[in-house]
Amino acid sequence: MIAIDGPAASGKSAVGVAVAGRLGFRFFDTGAMYRAVTWLALRRNVDVHDEAAVAALVEAATITVRETDPGSAEATAVLVDGDDATPHLRDPEVEANVSLVSRVPGVRRALVLIQRALAAEGGVVMAGRDIGTVVLPDADCKIYLDASREVRAERRRRQIVDAGGEADYNSLLADLERRDGIDSSRKTSPLTAAPGAVIINTDSLNIDEVVERIVELAT
């Protein structure tokens, strides 16, 4: 089991997919699950600031997670109560609210159970904010990907533009600052490097270089 943690836009998913491909492992982006719950809350008009209501929503929901086909925009597909949330995981409203939903203890407890079940068979690369610290504390290889906020904002801007959208660098930078603050200060499973994790700063590294480093560490 390989755990990859790090802040928003640090390259966890892109790197994780590539590492899994090299090793013949499965890959799961746990952030997709939190985005799916956020989409569900917004769709059902549940106040994302109401932690009790959001927790009750996820506890009552049936959440199914699977890998997507190679080349898909998302590496992890999530169905909630039979509805496919995957096409909506990057919706602007979801982007704006996912950090609020993911800090809810009840949401984290429910999704951690699903994540551990996915990893139980082994041969998995899992990426998120608390994989090495909470979800898979006994993972064979723990990685913490980091990058400066400025580099992450520019990467996110290029990602959006390459997908045909429009993005403002300063707005993205401000949003990352907001999300970093929420992720690192939440009471349940705050974002931090796990004990024993190898910290890789990717500011001056490309994806291939990061992937090669992780594959070397894991084999």
Q: What is the pLDDT of residue 162?
A: 87
Query: Is there a contact between 104 and 159 (Cβ–Cβ < 8 Å)?
Result: no
pLDDT of residue 49: 96
pLDDT for the residue 132: 97
Q: Class for domain 2-218, per CATH? A: alpha beta
Show the CA angle centred on residue 145, arms to residues 141 and 148, nearest 5°.
165
pLDDT at 58: 97
- Domain borders along the chain are 2-218
Query: Which residue's structure tokens are 């931090």?
Result: 192
Residue of 4, 34, 7 lying closest to 190 (CA atoms): 7
Using an 8 Å Cβ cutoff, are 8 and 183 in contact?
A: yes
Question: Taking Cα atoms as reference points, which of 105, 131, 149 lies closest to residue 7?
Answer: 149
Provide the whole-model pTM: 0.92
Distance CA 141, CA 216 (A): 11
Q: Tokens for 100, please give them.
A: 């609020």
Query: Do residues 79 and 64 lie in contact, with contact meaning Cβ atoms separated by under 8 Å?
Result: yes
Tallying the residues shown for the chain, one arrives at 219
Residue pLDDT tens, the chain, 219 long: 999 999 988 999 999 999 999 999 999 999 999 999 999 999 999 999 999 999 999 999 999 999 998 778 899 999 999 999 999 998 999 989 999 999 999 999 999 999 999 999 899 999 999 999 999 999 999 999 999 999 999 998 998 898 788 999 999 999 999 989 989 998 888 999 999 999 999 999 999 999 999 999 998
